[in-house]
Structure 1
């Protein structure tokens, strides 16, 4: 995640970031360790520290944000050795604006944890799990020269129109969806467009397609956790679409998914998903995630 700040005489506060990070790492001690080379799913808490980089950017922040092609966001991220769980990069623009970016290993914590930790302050630490047999490879997205990044803006008026269309369409089918969320509506739209494009590229032949969405389950466990709990507490909701008719049934699958209310382990459903993963890996898969509702705009580092 990268956050941008306009010029507000904060150049001198880079030292404050380093100091607060070092204090926070005494609590989030695994972030300051290293992934074990023999068993990379484990962290050797050896206090070697997180990586902190500084960089200078030619140009102003406003010019960058107005003309960004999105692929140029990569320059702000502290891509480091994979054995380092946590790295930070502070980039200074000519105008005095700043970009603060963090990379956190998913083997240590999830996106919710990253958002919480970006304030460099202790909220709540890790929950201990003494015996976890985690034999789960997980998901990986390899870098590719064919990867592109695009940004699409949906005005509220268009969002409301899509919501109303879904309400009326599902009501006519006898299986009404009364209040679809923004995330559900946009996921459905993007998924439908992706499937249509893939079908066109396959000479009009529909191929079974998978859709995968990550869900934060801190408030969905039998004993709900604090929303600030650090770790991997997410569930990967996976749905296989065998034909075009099933594209409209993703919301029903979400509501009927019993696992979304029964997860009780820090392994985040890894064993539950193992069989599903073998099935969905054989198809074209669309993966979705969202930070809507996350306290991203509250990340001010005390400024």
Structure 2
């Protein structure tokens, strides 16, 4: 039955209306011996966060599928995919339970209709504070009342025939690599057997089974921004040509060749610290935290389809303002990367993160830490721009970064491959200075 559940307004004319709600369950029941999926200690360290990704698809003349056809394809292929990704259709018995009850209760799937055209909506993404509303059941908020659900989907139909697929996954289930693998598995199932994609073979997930973890031993890692003011988000584009210039600038000072992500992370962090310093009137010690995927760094390399939070964290402290020079920051990031080469297991990575956390908590400047710690996550190289359900790859992607929290940065490849887009979430006063920084603006395009 069609339901008018809520109205969501974007700008002056863009109106979204929820028109249907469904629950998609696995095509086949989960076997009894798999009905409990233990979360790892690192999963529990992540805490109650969501990874909310928006994929925008234009209405191509070459695609003969109607809106109803696309919905049917998505639901059928999702049902089949949940048979393989069986924990995703489960529930947390309580918010503190260290395991998923793989009870096949399914994934919420909403449909919404918009009066806006897709291109019109895309132009508003750079400064759109209401992106959260494209996702179902507040599954972009840490304190969502529906947070025992682990995955939520909302298919947004635009007036031009294009669609925006909003998918939110609980971070407890896995990291960005897990999320990308799930989306591409789902897309492969949707294409599999079609006239144009007979060769497609979905890559199945690789599960690592771990013993039950005592949740009291895994304090939540992501609480450093608790109690701060309501943040604002902006999106910035850095073309490859500008990133090459930035790399040359750093190379000339260090005689070392950095990566695009290293130089951009350093520039963004430097600019955020400078903005905070201007607002407060003086420099204060700051920290940059960088999550890192370690699947390929372990002695026994794990496949990219390995499910879970399989990573470590690099910590770059800046105790003095002189340490915010680009060359200094890039050098420290490279130093931290070398230390990751010695990680022998996921458990060792978890122990390192716990040790890091204990160091931060015992820091005498804890109040300063809460206001001056920044997290920069890179999703560059992950296959979000390749998610093709049979009607082409997305024209744009976006992440509702406010789910991650204030003082957060997420880097993603642009859809056309010509650069990196940075989603930045800062306190409003800091953002006002950040987005007008002359050095930053010399390497980026705000509107694209």
TM-score by length of 2: 0.61
Aligned partner of 1:70 in structure 2 is 128
1:208-227 deviation line (CA, Å, top 9, x unaligned): 10001111111111111112
Counterpart-to-counterpart distance in 2, 1:36 and 1:265: 29
Residue in 1 aligned with 2:59? 7
The verdict on how the C-alpha distance between 1:84 and 1:266 changes in structure 2, with shifts beyond 3 A counting, is: farther
- The answer for the alignment partner of 1:139 in structure 2 is 222
In the other structure, the counterpart of 1:210 is: 287
Pick closer, same or farther for the CA change 1:197–1:269 going to 2, 3 Å.
same
Distance 2:340 2:161 in 1: 45
Taking the aligned partners of 2:264 and 2:278, their CA distance within structure 1 comes to 21
Give the drift of 1:154.
2.2
Paired residues, number: 296
Contact 2:90 2:103 in 1 (8 A): yes
The partner residue of 2:75 within 15, 18, 24 is: 18
Match of 1:61 among 118, 134, 138: 118
Match status 1:287 vs 2:375: yes
Compare relative contact order (CA 8 Å, sep 6+) and give the higher one, 1 or 2: 2
For residues 93 and 201 of structure 1, the distance between their equivalents in structure 2, rounded to whole angstroms, comes to 41
Calculate the TM-score normalised by the size of structure 1.
0.89
Alignment match, 2:400:
none
Residue matched to 1:157 = 241
Find the residue that maps to 2:373 and give its secondary structure. strand
Instruction: Flag the 1:31–1:267 CA change in 2: closer, same or farther, 3 A.
Output: farther
Correspondence 1:249 to 2:332? no
Residue ranges of structure 2 left out of the alignment (5+ in a row): 1-52, 140-145, 190-202, 392-448
TM superposition shift of 1:252: 3.2
What are structure 1's unaligned runs of at least 5 residues? Answer: 171-175
Q: Are the equivalent residues in 2 in contact too, given 1:32–1:48 (CA < 8 A)? A: yes
**Deviation larger for 130-139 or 234-243:** 130-139
RMSD: 2.3
1:76, distance to aligned residue in structure 2 (A): 1.5
Query: 121, 140, 157: which is aligned to 1:92?
Result: 157
Q: Secondary structure at the match of 1:117?
A: helix
Shift of 1:108: 1.1
| Paired position in structure 1 for 2:385 | 297
Greater strand share, 1 or 2? 2
Please state how far the C-alpha of 1:95 moved relative to its aligned partner. 1.1
In terms of mean alpha carbon deviation, does 232-241 or 264-273 score higher? 264-273
